[in-house]
């Protein structure tokens, strides 16, 4: 089932002098089983939007349909606990939320909260570790003696162990080294392909949007400025530049070369295509 | 004279396992140096050792020719400033102007001069319009610019940037990188930038590559990027401009490789005009 958002509005501090509309008239349909990127500058409303997906925020107007839940203003969500199990939300720097003495206890915290028995929870933890690329030798270690990348894996395992249908990730690779970031993205892609999880990714990294995502949603000052499949999106670099976002390197090179008089068709957004195109237009060294 | 000279530096958090292992390097005065390495390679630990937040187990650190010790640490801090990854961790003032003034007050700068310095440094980082704003209400990029202004006010000879752009959106990042470059070009400040951003590495003059607490390589970006396989092994990536110009080289278009997008575009334009 896709996620349907209709005319959603969120006003912070409504009816006070500090009232501020963070989201206005959002209409979106986010397809099931796909990877969708949410991009936009700082303050564009990305985090406000994703917090609606598991009921942390309730819209001040409009509706949201997700995993069989119909969320509307003023009404308390029935069985919100179950919604939070189905929609796993991973905040920025999730490793700051680690708190238990051992990795096993930290990952088991979620399932236990949802009423899973001790023994079963322990099995769930053992099953989830290899998914995030860790082995059982980590179970009794303290999460605080791990490196940044490993801590983040543990924190994400704490969400994955609940087996959410929808996985919402707020800047999951910020602060990781390039290799760590790549491994993290590969993990999400595998969860998407093998377990058909719907993945929503808030990101600033345009290379990730280009290489991993199926769809892209652009937020700007609380409204949806653009929604498109990824290929069409990068065929229109002006869309990206207009909202003040730096395009991926390959697109920047393409734009610079076009300005310099090279003839490059819109549909070329990959390295191979660009190479061929350049080769046709320059003198080749003998 | 080197701005920073580190010899045989070792450090351990728990007294047993060294996280910095016999590290030596020298940073020339007025240079723009980047330090790269995988997560956990010891980059930030070195930054903290350099400003005396951590105490070395063995080895020595010379700042502008003076060996760092407990007696001169406070006076040497007048010469070294640091901008951390998360600016929220270092705000003190209730307005941008107050926050910039904090460092000046600590350094007993007379009130009359303070106002002038604050206005000057705010202008340098394009934050003049925000002097009365509350730091917490600013965007990530703006906060980081205020943090830089606070350091500039002290006018240190050396500024360390510890992954100062990793939390910013691409535009904020570009604007901070521009500031760093400007500081280096205009005021001849020695810049030491800890980063994962290989595009920034390509722009710097000198690179130190750390692996598991040891210096694995040091040299100019061009020299470092020669060791492609080794960088990959160390979980580092080549900048796009370089990997793309390698491909152009394989296709017989380029004779040489280039580290920055500007160079690639210039070279291609020349090849086109001679076509």
Q: What are phi and psi of A79, to 5 degrees?
A: 55, 50
The answer to whether residue A148 scores a pLDDT higher than 80 is: no
Tokens 């963070």, residue located: A22
The pLDDT tens digits for B202-217 are 989 999 999 999 999 9
User: How distant is the Cα of A250 from the closest Cα of chain B, in angstroms?
Assistant: 8
More confident residue, B182 or A113: A113
Helices (H), ranges, A116-236: 118-128, 148-160, 178-195, 206-212, 230-235
Which of B39, B169, B244 is facing A204, going by the closest CB pair? Answer: B169
The pLDDT tens digits for B65-94 are 999 998 898 888 889 999 887 777 778 888
The answer to whether residue B162 scores a pLDDT higher than 70 is: yes
Chain B contact probe: residue of A147, A244, A278 with most B CBs at under 10 A: A278
The alpha carbon dihedral of A182, A203, B137, A156 has a sign of negative
The pLDDT tens digits for A216-250 are 999 999 999 999 999 999 998 888 888 777 788 89
Q: Is residue A163 classed exposed, middle or buried when 0-12, 13-18 and 19+ CB atoms within 10 A define those classes?
A: middle
Residues of chain B contacting A281 with CB distance shorter than 8 Å? 272, 275
User: How distant is the Cα of A1 from the closest Cα of chain B, in angstroms?
Assistant: 32
The answer to whether residue B274 scores a pLDDT higher than 70 is: no
- CA-to-CA separations, B215 to B19, B37, B116, B194, in angstroms, rounded: 12, 9, 42, 14
Spell A11-20 as b/e; 16+ CB within 10 A means b: beeeeeeeee
State in Å, rounded, how far the first CA of chain A is from the last one: 58
Contact B269 A260 (CB under 8 A): yes
Q: What is the pLDDT of residue B188?
A: 85
User: How distant is the Cα of A271 from the closest Cα of chain B, in angstroms?
Assistant: 8
**Which CATH code of 3.10.20.30, 3.30.70.3170, 3.40.50.300, 3.90.1300.10 fits the domain covering A32-54+80-229?**
3.40.50.300
Residues of chain A contacting B166 with CB distance shorter than 8 Å? 174-175
CA distance B243 to B257: 8
CA distance B41 to B213: 5
Residues of chain A contacting B40 with CB distance shorter than 8 Å? 147-149
The pLDDT tens digits for B180-205 are 888 888 888 899 999 988 888 998 99
Q: Where are chain A's structural domains?
A: 32-54+80-229
Q: What are phi and psi of B100, to 5 degrees?
A: -65, -35
The pLDDT tens digits for A77-97 are 888 889 999 999 998 888 888
Chain B contact probe: residue of A40, A148, A279, A282 with most B CBs at under 10 A: A282
More confident residue, A19 or A154: A154
Give the pLDDT band of residue B275 (cuts 50, 70, 90).
Answer: low
CA distance A164 to A3: 14
Return residue ranges of chain B for CATH 3.40.50.300.
Answer: 2-230
What lies within 8 Å, CB to CB, of B26 at 6+ separation is B2, B4, B5, B6
For residue B106, how many other CB atoms are within 10 A of its CB? 12
Mean pLDDT estimate for chain A: 90
User: How distant is the Cα of A279 from the closest Cα of chain B, in angstroms?
Assistant: 7
The answer to whether residue B250 scores a pLDDT higher than 70 is: yes
Residues of chain B contacting A262 with CB distance shorter than 8 Å? 268, 272
Cα B119 → chain centroid: 24
Residue B246: closest C-alpha in chain A: A275
Give the pLDDT band of residue A101 (cuts 50, 70, 90).
Answer: very high
Token pair of A201 as six digits: 């990714």
At A207, is the secondary structure helix, strand, or coil?
Answer: helix
To the question of domain B2-230 being in CATH 3.30.70.100, the answer is: no
Contact B235 A206 (CB under 8 A): no
Contact B241 A249 (CB under 8 A): yes
The answer to whether residue A75 scores a pLDDT higher than 90 is: no
Cα A105 → chain centroid: 26
Give the pLDDT band of residue B35 (cuts 50, 70, 90).
Answer: very high
């Amino acid at each position: 089932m896709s996620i349907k958002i209709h005319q959603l509005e969120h006003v912070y501090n409504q009816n006070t002098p500090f009232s501020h509309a963070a989201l206005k008239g959002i209409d979106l349909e986010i397809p099931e089983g796909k990877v969708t990127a949410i991009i936009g500058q700082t303050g564009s409303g990305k985090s406000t939007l994703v917090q609606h997906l598991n009921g942390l925020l309730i819209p001040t107007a409009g509706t949201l349909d997700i995993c069989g839940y119909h969320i509307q203003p003023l009404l308390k969500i029935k069985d919100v606990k179950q919604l939070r199990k189905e929609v796993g939300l991973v905040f920025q720097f999730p490793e700051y939320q680690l708190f238990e003495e051992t990795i096993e206890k930290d990952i088991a915290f979620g399932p236990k909260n949802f009423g899973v028995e001790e023994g079963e929870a322990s099995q769930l933890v053992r099953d989830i570790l290899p998914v995030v690329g860790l082995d059982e030798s980590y179970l009794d270690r303290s999460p605080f003696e791990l490196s940044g990348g490993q801590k983040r894996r543990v924190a994400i395992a704490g969400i994955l162990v609940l087996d959410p249908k929808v996985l919402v990730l707020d800047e999951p690779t910020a602060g990781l080294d390039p290799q760590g970031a790549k491994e993290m993205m590969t993990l999400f892609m595998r969860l998407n392909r093998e377990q058909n999880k719907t993945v929503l990714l808030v990101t600033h990294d345009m290379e990730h949007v280009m290489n991993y995502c199926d769809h892209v949603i652009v937020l700007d000052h609380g409204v949806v400025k653009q929604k498109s499949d990824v290929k069409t999106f990068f065929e229109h670099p002006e869309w990206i530049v207009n909202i003040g976002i730096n395009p991926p390197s390959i697109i920047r090179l393409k734009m610079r070369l076009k300005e310099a008089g090279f003839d490059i068709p819109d549909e070329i957004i990959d390295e191979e295509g660009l190479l061929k195109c350049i080769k046709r237009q320059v003198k080749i060294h003998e | 004279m080197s701005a920073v000279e580190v010899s045989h530096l070792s450090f351990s958090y728990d007294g047993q396992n060294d996280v910095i292992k016999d590290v030596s390097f020298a940073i020339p005065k007025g240079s723009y140096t980047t330090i790269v390495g995988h997560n956990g390679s010891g980059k930030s630990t070195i930054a903290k050792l350099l400003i005396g937040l951590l105490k070395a187990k063995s080895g020595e650190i010379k700042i502008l020719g003076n060996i760092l010790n407990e007696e001169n640490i406070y006076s040497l801090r007048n010469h070294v400033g640091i901008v951390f990854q998360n600016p929220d961790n270092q705000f003190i003032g209730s307005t941008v102007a107050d926050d910039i003034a904090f460092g000046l007050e600590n350094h007993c700068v007379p009130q009359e001069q303070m106002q002038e310095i604050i206005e000057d440094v705010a202008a340098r980082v394009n934050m003049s319009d925000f002097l009365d704003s509350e730091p917490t209400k600013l965007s990530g990029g703006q906060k980081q610019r205020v943090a830089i202004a606070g350091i500039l006010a002290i006018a240190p000879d050396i500024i360390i940037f510890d992954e100062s752009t990793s939390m910013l959106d691409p535009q904020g990042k570009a604007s901070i990188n521009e500031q760093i470059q400007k500081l280096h070009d205009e005021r001849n400040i020695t810049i030491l930038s800890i980063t994962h951003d290989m595009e920034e590495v390509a722009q710097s003059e000198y690179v130190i590559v750390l692996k598991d607490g040891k210096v694995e390589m040091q040299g100019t970006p061009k020299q470092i990027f020669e060791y492609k396989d080794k960088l990959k092994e160390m979980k580092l990536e080549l900048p796009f401009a370089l990997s793309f110009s390698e491909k152009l080289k394989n296709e017989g278009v380029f004779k040489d490789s280039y580290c920055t997008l500007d160079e690639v575009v210039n070279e291609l334009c020349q090849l086109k005009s001679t076509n």
